[in-house]
Structure 1
Amino acid sequence: MKVLFLACLSPKTGNHTTAERIRSHIESAGHSCELRDVADFHSPADVAHLVSQNPPFEGALAIHLFKAGRLLLDLRLPFGVIFGGTDINEDVKDEQKRVVMKQVLLKARFAVAFTEKLKEEAEFVLVSPDSKIYVQPQGIQTEEAEQFCWTEFLRSSEWHSENLHNILIIIGPKVDPALTAEVEAVVQRAAGVFLAQERSQQELHAAMKRCFAVVNSSVSEGMSAAILEAMDLRVPVLVRNIPGNAAVVKHGVTGLLFSSPQEFVHQSQRLLSDQELRERVVRSGKLYVEEHHSVKEERETYQRLMDKLHKVQFLT
Structure 2
Amino acid sequence: MKIAFITPYYNPPVRGNAVTVRRIAGNLAAAGCETAVYSLDALTAGDILREVLPTSPDVIHGFHAFHGGRPAREIAAAAGVAYVVTITGSDVYEAMLDGRRGETLAVLRDAAAIVVFDSSVKQRIAGHHPSLAEKIQIIPQGVELPGEDFTWGPERFDGGEFVFFLPAGLRPVKNIDSALAPLAELHRNDPRIRLLVAGPVLDPAYGAQLLEELERYPFARYLGAVGRGAIGALYRRADVVLNTSVFEGGMANSVLEAMAFGRPVLAADIEGNRSLVKEGKTGLLFRHEAEFLEKAEKLLRDGALRRRLGDEGSRLVREQFSVEREAAAYRDLYCRVLSR
TM-score computed with the length of structure 2 as normaliser: 0.83
Any conservation in 1 of the 2:109–2:132 contact (CA below 8 Å)? Answer: no
Any conservation in 2 of the 1:111–1:132 contact (CA below 8 Å)? Answer: yes
Q: Which runs of 5+ in 1 are unaligned?
A: none
The answer to whether 1:207 aligns with 2:234 is yes
* Partner in structure 2 of residue 93 of structure 1: 97
Counterpart-to-counterpart distance in 1, 2:188 and 2:225: 27
Counterpart-to-counterpart distance in 2, 1:138 and 1:112: 11
Matches within 5 A, 1:132-143: 132-143=135-146
Of residues 273, 278, 285 in structure 2, which corresponds to 1:257? 285
Counterpart-to-counterpart distance in 2, 1:129 and 1:243: 20
The CA deviation string for residues 261-308 of structure 1, in whole angstroms up to 9 with x for no partner, is: 222121111011123322221122112212221222111101112223
Counterpart-to-counterpart distance in 2, 1:207 and 1:161: 24
- SS of 1:66's equivalent? helix
* Partner in structure 2 of residue 50 of structure 1: 51
Aligned in 2, Cα 1:143/1:49: closer, same or farther, shift over 3 Å?
closer
Aligned in 2, Cα 1:258/1:295: closer, same or farther, shift over 3 Å?
same
Any conservation in 2 of the 1:161–1:191 contact (CA below 8 Å)? Answer: no
Letter in 2 for 1:182: Q
Aligned residue-pair number: 305
CA RMSD of aligned residues (A): 2.1
Counterpart-to-counterpart distance in 2, 1:27 and 1:310: 18
Alpha-carbon shift at residue 30 of structure 1 (Å): 3.0
Q: Which runs of 5+ in 2 are unaligned?
A: 158-183
* Partner in structure 2 of residue 37 of structure 1: 39
Of residues 20, 23, 37 in structure 1, which corresponds to 2:22? 20
Counterpart-to-counterpart distance in 2, 1:15 and 1:32: 20
Letter in 2 for 1:15: N
* Partner in structure 1 of residue 218 of structure 2: 191
Q: Which runs of 4+ in 1 moved over 6 A?
A: none
Matches within 5 A, 1:83-122: 83-94=87-98, 96-122=99-125
TM-score computed with the length of structure 1 as normaliser: 0.89
Letter in 2 for 1:149: T
Which moved further from structure 2: 126-135 or 174-183?
126-135
- SS of 2:24's equivalent? helix
The CA deviation string for residues 53-108 of structure 1, in whole angstroms up to 9 with x for no partner, is: 3x4333210111011101123232211111111122222111x4222122111211
- SS of 2:327's equivalent? helix
Any conservation in 2 of the 1:102–1:126 contact (CA below 8 Å)? Answer: no
Of residues 81, 85, 91 in structure 1, which corresponds to 2:85? 81
